[in-house]
Structure 1
Amino acid sequence: MVFFDVITRGAKLKRTREAQQQVEKDVAGLTLYQFFACPFCIKTRRAMYKMNLPIVKRSASKGSPYRDELLQGGGKIKTPCLRIETADEVTWLYESSEIIKYVQQRFK
């Protein structure tokens, strides 16, 4: 499944250098917690790839220190989960469709 994703994902969104630099700055507060072969995680990573969003990805697999971070912060070990950190708060967004909708609205 992962192999199929890699060979069929298509091209990244092209932006001007300045616009891409702004996007890179804006994604600094975002982190995706994931399982590598999870189909919903693949769907989410694929959307982020196509939108050219260099969001930090963390494995929530057993034995990973990020697994405990996900449990402590989000309250459950469920992926994909997008950690959204702003100056005021941290929000944990679950569900691939909701994550994709969020990034599509935020990074039009």
Structure 2
Amino acid sequence: MTSTHHLRLYHRNHCPYCRKVREVIDALGLDIRLVEMEEQPVEWERLKLEGGQAMVPCLRIDEEHGTVWMYESEDIIQYLRQTYGRPQ
């Protein structure tokens, strides 16, 4: 199984764009750490300071040479499908 320990999804439960990303994560059978942003001021500040934007969904990708903060749901879905395969 491909490791996903370097991935973290910042999301809100009631956000339709976040839901779409979570559905792809489930369809691909990925174990990605989910950070629910409801009432999480520290996490919102982290998104803004480290990622540059305080919006969800955001996929944090910790790579060998730094961290990538991917914000658009369609970009996140495309990355997951290209990296981990398409759901059946």
Alignment TM-score > 0.5, same fold: yes
Counterpart Cα distance in 1 of 2:34 and 2:40: 16
Structure with the larger RCO, 1 or 2 (CA within 8 Å, 6+ apart) = 2
Query: Greater strand share, 1 or 2?
Result: 2
Summarize deviations over 1:14-57 as a string: whole Å, max 9, x none: xxxxxxxx32xx21100000111000000000010010011001
The answer for the alignment partner of 2:29 in structure 1 is 52
Matched AA of 1:35: R
Q: Which has the larger radius of gyration?
A: 1
State the identity %.
Answer: 31
Matching of residue 27 in structure 1 with residue 4 in structure 2:
yes
Give the deviation of 1:74 after TM superposition.
1.0
Matching of residue 62 in structure 1 with residue 39 in structure 2:
yes
Aligned to 2:68, the other structure's residue is in SS state: strand
Structure 2 unmatched ranges of 5 or more: none
- Give me the TM-score of the superposition, normalised by structure 2: 0.88
Matching of residue 95 in structure 1 with residue 72 in structure 2:
yes
Aligned-CA RMSD value:
1.2
Query: How many residue pairs get matched?
Result: 85
Please list every run of at least 4 consecutive aligned residues from structure 1 whose deviation after the TM superposition is greater than 4 angstroms. Answer: none
Counterpart Cα distance in 1 of 2:29 and 2:41: 26
Matched AA of 1:104: R
Query: Greater helix share, 1 or 2?
Result: 1
Aligned to 1:61, the other structure's residue is in SS state: coil
- Give me the TM-score of the superposition, normalised by structure 1: 0.73
